[in-house]
Amino acid sequence: MPYRNWAQGEVRRQMTVRHAGRRRVYARRGLGTAATLSLLLLALVLGVFPASNAAATGGSPSAEAAAAEAAGDEATAGETLSVDVLVYGSTTGGIGALRALDRLGSRFGRQFSLALVAPAAEFESPLVQGLSVEDVFRPHVTVSGFYDEFRRSVLTRYAAQGIDAARDGRLRYEPRVAQEVLRSLLPQSGLRRLSGKLVQVEPPGAEGLTRILVESPTGARQQVEARLVIDASPEGDLGRALGADYMMGTGNALFNDVLGPAPAPPGPENGFSTAPQSLSMLLTLRLHPGGAPPLAQLTHPLYQGSTYGPDFTFGENNLLGFADSWSMRQVLPNDRRELNEAWSDYRPPADTFAWVTQPDSREALRARMASAVLDKVRYLQEHGYPHVGVDRIPDQPYVRAGVRFLGEDFYSGADIDAGRRRQSVAFGRYARYDRHDPAGAQQISAEAAVHVPMGALVPRGFGYLLAPTAVSSDESAYSSAVRMESVRGNMGAAAGVMAGLALIKGTDLHGLSYDQVAGELRVQGHALLAEEREGLPAGQMPPALRRLFWDVPVSGELYQRLSLLNVLNAVDGRGDRSFGPSGTALRAQVAKMVVEGYALAGGAPVGGILSFPDLPDDGAAYPNGYVQTAVANGLMQGYGDGRFGPWEPMTRVQLVRVLVRAEGTGLAQPPAGYDSGFRDVAVEDRAVVARARFNGLVYGRSATSFDPYAPAGRGHVTLILGRALSR
């Protein structure tokens, strides 16, 4: 079914945030349409089989799939869900995004409403679908952030059984353990899960909400509307339906499923340039000394056995080399194996192309891929390896590469080779190049560090959409550590941080500051540059790098208030990433803090045209624009001699006057006779200080001293303004 064409335009919508009796107004950009629009997708049959993790000899669906159903609230059929963020794809990146959103919300006292849409209850993440041997070079100085949290949890679970799952430094694990760990990292509240296929997508209109319609395996339909969207799928189904430009295969030609052109199938005429990488159904093997259950007797939804016959063969070299193959040498805990390499690669370019571009073909392709790899193991059993059995059959293939969206930034192989780093939000190390295609695996094994830029996660022109798996890059860059699950998971976490900060700020993704995003990622334990992890124990970040500013400890109220003001652009650090909380706050600095904190707009100056002789007449926002706006809104005043004194210290009582004016009726009036207890406040300031004290904004030096005319410190201003804005 073809997509309808739609006109892409920019609209402005006003989102208002109630705050203590006053309203702060933010402009937000979204994609609009010329008329009411429903983009009917190709019938996205994303896996209607029940979870098929039963033992290979048959039986009921797996326990982990059933448990996955219970992780997150299932939405009720027919209801319309309205959420802050919709995550499409239960991939490693999708789960990383949800985890980061949950952690960010906890830090800021914000409960985000979230929806996770995926084809089935069991996770799509390759970590769960059979990719059981870690693809990271030098993990002890590489892993960080979300992936490190996953890794440490796996190690802890195996350690409780007396098993060292990384005995040579490289993590190995069973899919069931990965499933348990990833499930434990999902938000415990505020998350709704939907399983099924996409049948309709509508880009944001004037109200700024993206809408999708999901059909469950039982046929029930549920609509979801979201302010921000994270497409964490490698195929980019949702982003393509919304009209984002993308690349696929080995070239950088642009395609668009809404506006055209569509990619041509791979073939000799185009040099197979549109062929994605090979897919893999990664079986988990188990050795049975007395003989494994024969696959000839296997009953499974994905395997009918009809493709296996007396003429089936897989090459004598493969057969002879299996005993010493990578799959047999990489021993997982509890003596399992991951069947990888040529044994699991599914290479037909027409099929891999169809998997990405024709979602309605995926049901048949899953069975075809599963049959292909199971036939190979059956061939092994019947030709000298009767002890090799299948412990687990995955539900979904390992999709190494689907599409790559064209983003606000473009990461290239040349960037990697030159060591270029622009606004890095995810760092990793692996082989410089690793591609699986119809010709077989191609690898440049030399180690290469990748630093994925923030803009590569945002499809160009889409201020509401993030794509942390199908990132903006050329094929050379994508076929490096960029496509490995450790980096995919951390790119997902970066997308979650970006979405959460945009929601808190009331802006679209284009309004984010890299320093804010990087600061929050470091707070969540992410290393963004290669050198940040050198010389440290595994998983450990320098304490100073895990803070927004190295001189403000994470614990305590100041850090909490500082985090909020940093997101609102109200505070900046110094060039050395310090904040200087004990330093004196200047009047110009306070003007900026209140203007940005309260999102004040400029207006007609109170009392006529503003003219302060000690302000630079250069039209710059700082300090001139901020001072003019603060005075125009009645929050600050100049001195009697006509000066403003932008570089003079702000006194503690001046700060109280400013914030009481800013809060207005949002601050309660103290009862008659209320006494702040401060004995050093002048008569003319007692009422305003008492009101601030009554509302919990200030506490004083002691029970009887406020020290009103001393300079206010930067930390003091941050505390009081943060308290006011958090009311």
Torsion angles phi and psi, residue 434, rounded to 5: -150, 100
- Give the model's confidence band at 612: pLDDT under 50 very low, under 70 low, under 90 confident, else very high: confident
H or E stretch at 722: helix 714-725
Give the model's pLDDT for residue 26. 25
DSSP 300-342: BTTB-STT--TT----HHHHHHGGGSHHHHSBPGGGEEE--GG
pLDDT exceeds cutoff 80 at 528:
yes
Give the model's pLDDT for residue 397. 96
Taking only the tens place, the pLDDT of each residue in 97-156 is: 999 999 999 888 889 999 999 988 889 999 999 999 999 999 988 999 999 999 999 999
pLDDT exceeds cutoff 60 at 462:
yes
Give the model's pLDDT for residue 77. 53
Largest alpha-carbon pair distance within the chain? 102
Average confidence score pLDDT of the chain? 85
Give the model's pLDDT for residue 133. 96
Taking only the tens place, the pLDDT of each residue in 465-490 is: 999 999 999 999 999 999 999 999 99
Q: What 3-state class would DSSP assign to 479?
A: coil
Please indicate whether residue 436 or residue 621 has the higher confidence score (pLDDT): 436
Taking only the tens place, the pLDDT of each residue in 278-304 is: 999 999 999 999 999 999 999 999 997
Taking only the tens place, the pLDDT of each residue in 196-247 is: 999 999 999 999 999 999 999 899 999 999 999 999 999 999 999 999 999 9
pLDDT exceeds cutoff 80 at 393:
yes
Cβ atoms of residues 195 and 216 within 8 Å: yes
Taking only the tens place, the pLDDT of each residue in 15-56 is: 223 233 332 322 222 333 332 333 334 333 333 223 334 344
DSSP-derived letter for residue 651 is B
Q: What 3-state class would DSSP assign to 519?
A: helix
Q: What is the mean pLDDT of residues 165-177?
A: 96
pLDDT exceeds cutoff 80 at 307:
yes
Please indicate whether residue 275 or residue 603 has the higher confidence score (pLDDT): 275
Q: What 3-state class would DSSP assign to 643?
A: coil
Global pTM? 0.80
User: Which domains does the chain carry?
Assistant: 9-294+391-399 (3.50.50), 559-725 (no CATH)
- Give the model's confidence band at 568: pLDDT under 50 very low, under 70 low, under 90 confident, else very high: confident
Q: What is the mean pLDDT of residues 172-181?
A: 97
Query: CA 327, CA 343: separation in Å to the nearest integer?
Result: 9
H or E stretch at 564: helix 557-567
